[in-house]
Amino acid sequence: MWFFTEEQNQLKEVCRDFAHKELKPKAEHHDNHETFNIDAFKKMGELGVLGITAGTEFGGAGLGSLEATIVMEEFGKVCASSTLSYLAHSMLCVNNMDKNASKEQKQKYLPKLISGEHIGCMGMSEPGYGSDAVGLQTKATLSGDEYSITGNKMWITNAQFADISYIYARTGKDKKNISTFIIENDSPGFSVSKEIHKMGMRASPTGELTLENVKVPLSNRVGKEGDSVYHMMKNLDLERITISGISLGIAQACVDQCIQYAKERSQFGKPIGNFQLIQKMIADMSAETEMMRRFLYSACKEYDEGQGGNALAAQVKLVIPRMVTKIALDAIQLHGGYGYSREFPVERYLRDNKLMEIGAGTNEVMIMIIAKNLLKDCLVK
């Protein structure tokens, strides 16, 4: 991007090199076997990106959404699954903790999360509460100097490997009386009750968490009781912007793969890149990808400067994953029968990207947010 600093361009190169060395060679294997590339994940700590938006006091890089999105794009080009696990750790757990936890809590948990010694996850969605996240039913009851937490959390990325969970729970009758707790996953009553097998993002572990009277000390509550809805919504904006970087990476991977295939594949005695329909498909895909890149990084810049609100995050999250699904479908079409097989990676790109239209808020929820902002003066309450 034209406005990237020298440091941001260097970050891009470093992450690209890491992705090609540590993620790409094993991406197909981990997708086929539904296994987690934990070795590469740990090395992300050595690379210095697991706390990319966290403050430097506890080992973070102190950077913004733009730099985080650079990492998402470069990692996402080669292994979207590993990148999703990276996002769940660095954006949903580490960033949340850095922005909202006390100094004592940060001192206790952030260094190991940022170094990669510990893996983090975040528990918001529940079996019956996805889009209606504020309706969650997990309950935390205070008795003396500790809480007892009971409930279930669904669709939790990194669940099976996490050491630390950043959990939202209801602490009062009012719908918005929600609090946050830092839970050590070896606590009695805490378990991964179900491993979830998915269409895409198969190398990113996903599970259901069960909490049965899990005892959590008062000192592990983040902020004031009943004060977490604002924190939840604020972090969702960051998640929606940065997760779109994974889709952008998938789009670029589709373009690169199609260019390579158009040069190597021959029909009627010449490379298929000679045919105008193939040229049109690749040209459209490339132009759409560049348009998304400029939109996304401009949105990151606005967000980091305090100008982007939830409507902008929703627009990014709606438009980019939806367009990348189209690009992935076009990439499969261009590859013909091979595109429908696992011999080429384009079918994985499609499967992985479809999650982006569901996770961090579905397309339909994004439309609701955008419309609410545009039509707020006329909506009946």
Residues 6+ away with beta carbon under 8 Å from 188 = 214, 215
Cα first-last separation, the chain = 42
Query: Which value, to the nearest 10 degrees, does the dihedral of the CA atoms of residues 334, 335, 337, 342 take?
Result: -140
CATH topology of domain 230-374: Butyryl-CoA Dehydrogenase, subunit A; domain 3 (1.20.140)
Torsion angles phi and psi, residue 214, rounded to 5: -70, 125
What is the percent of the chain where pLDDT is above 70? 100
Query: Around Cβ 137, how many Cβ atoms within 10 Å?
Result: 13
pLDDT tens digit string along 50-71? 999 999 999 999 999 999 999 9
Q: In the chain, count of helices (H) and strands (E)?
A: 12, 10
Run of H or E including 238: helix 229-264
Domain with CATH 1.20.140.10 in the chain: 230-374
Find the length of the chain.
381
pLDDT tens digit string along 343-367? 999 999 999 999 999 999 999 999 9
pLDDT tens digit string along 187-239? 999 999 999 999 999 999 999 999 999 999 999 999 999 999 999 999 999 99
For residues 19 and 74, the answer to whether their CB atoms sit within 8 Å is yes
Tell the CATH superfamily of the 6-119 domain: Acyl-CoA dehydrogenase/oxidase, N-terminal domain (1.10.540.10)
- Tell me how many degrees the CA angle 85-90-93 measures, rounded to the nearest 5: 95
CATH 3.20.20.70 fits 121-226, yes or no: no
Domain with CATH 2.40.110.10 in the chain: 121-226
For residues 246 and 77, the answer to whether their CB atoms sit within 8 Å is no
Q: What is the pTM of this model?
A: 0.97
Residue 239 appears among annotated catalytic residues: yes
172-187 residues labelled b (16+ CB within 10 A) or e (exposed): eeeeeebbbbbbebee
pLDDT tens digit string along 245-303? 999 999 999 999 999 999 999 999 999 999 999 999 999 999 999 999 999 999 999 99
What is the percent of the chain where pLDDT is above 90? 95
CA atoms of 215 and 212, how far apart (whole Å): 9
pLDDT at residue 258 in the model: 98
**Residue corresponding to tokens 């961090």:** 360
Run of H or E including 190: strand 190-195
Half-sphere exposure of 117 (CA within 13 A, CB side): 7
Average pLDDT, the chain: 97
Residue 39 token pair: 């070795």
pLDDT tens digit string along 305-358? 998 789 999 999 999 999 999 999 999 999 999 999 999 999 999 999 999 999
Residue 146 token pair: 């500790």
For residues 208 and 45, the answer to whether their CB atoms sit within 8 Å is no
pLDDT at 41 over 70: yes
For residues 327 and 287, the answer to whether their CB atoms sit within 8 Å is no
pLDDT at 181 over 90: yes
Domain with CATH 1.10.540.10 in the chain: 6-119
pLDDT at residue 381 in the model: 67
Catalytic residue of the set 67, 73, 126, 239: 239
pLDDT at 3 over 80: yes
